[in-house]
């Protein structure tokens, strides 16, 4: 039964997460809230690992959640669930796109989808920032405004933003550097 549940949840994620792997984050957060298969912190860790390993983010994350939840078969069902909608949609689009790509309603639909995808990615970014840069639970416990900030994480974030803007290097250098800093300072 768990395999069917994993397949269905990742089928829905793959079906509605238009715009790439980062657009799956709100769906994964929903899965976490509903089923408890992983925590918000594990979601952030999954994102970090998925971003730094080869392959699509959504597939990497589906593999991780499936494996963590139901081992090898869980990973297989999660990945199949994640990719099945894309395969179906791409086959349909490939079949009909050449006939309708100039149609005003098709152009209007894509025009409407773009800001929705941007909003999904922005919401996911907000959730990642909330968990990675702030410690709201500590603040709620102590009511000290300074406890809301994870100072080391905010400083590392600011340094990486600065360096990314100043030096247009490949993101892997920044990920590796951040990993080394995390190991050295044990964030």
- pLDDT single digits (tens) 104-150: 888 888 889 889 888 988 888 888 888 888 888 888 888 888 888 88
pLDDT, residue 136, reads 84
For the chain, the average pLDDT equals 87
pLDDT, residue 81, reads 96
Provide the domain limits for residue 160.
Answer: 134-187
Q: Are residue 31 and residue 114 in the same domain, yes or no? A: yes
pLDDT, residue 187, reads 58
The structure's pTM equals 0.61
Grade residue 79 by pLDDT with cuts at 50, 70 and 90. very high
Does 15 score more than 80 pLDDT?
yes
Angle, to 10 degrees, between the axis of helix 104-133 and the axis of helix 40-52? 110
CA atoms within 13 Å, Cβ hemisphere of 87: 7
Q: Are residue 54 and residue 106 in the same domain, yes or no? A: yes
Q: Are residue 126 and residue 158 in the same domain, yes or no? A: no
Q: Are residue 104 and residue 178 in the same domain, yes or no? A: no
């Amino acid at each position: 039964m768990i395999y069917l549940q994993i397949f269905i949840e990742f089928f829905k994620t793959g079906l509605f997460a238009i715009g790439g792997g980062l657009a799956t984050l709100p769906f994964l957060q929903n899965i976490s809230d509903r089923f408890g298969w992983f925590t918000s912190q594990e979601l952030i860790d999954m994102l970090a690992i998925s971003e730094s390993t080869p392959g699509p983010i959504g597939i990497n994350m589906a593999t991780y959640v499936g494996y963590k939840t139901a081992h090898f078969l869980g990973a297989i069902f999660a990945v199949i669930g994640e990719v099945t909608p894309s395969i179906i949609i791409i086959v349909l689009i490939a079949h009909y796109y050449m006939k309708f790509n100039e149609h005003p309603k098709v152009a209007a639909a894509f025009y409407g989808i773009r800001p929705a995808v941007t909003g999904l990615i922005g919401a996911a970014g907000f959730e990642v920032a909330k968990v990675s840069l702030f410690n709201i639970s500590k603040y709620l416990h102590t009511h000290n405004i300074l406890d809301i900030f994870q100072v080391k994480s905010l400083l590392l974030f600011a340094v990486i933003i600065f360096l990314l803007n100043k030096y247009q290097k490949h993101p892997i250098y920044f990920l590796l550097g951040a990993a080394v800093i995390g190991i050295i300072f044990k964030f």
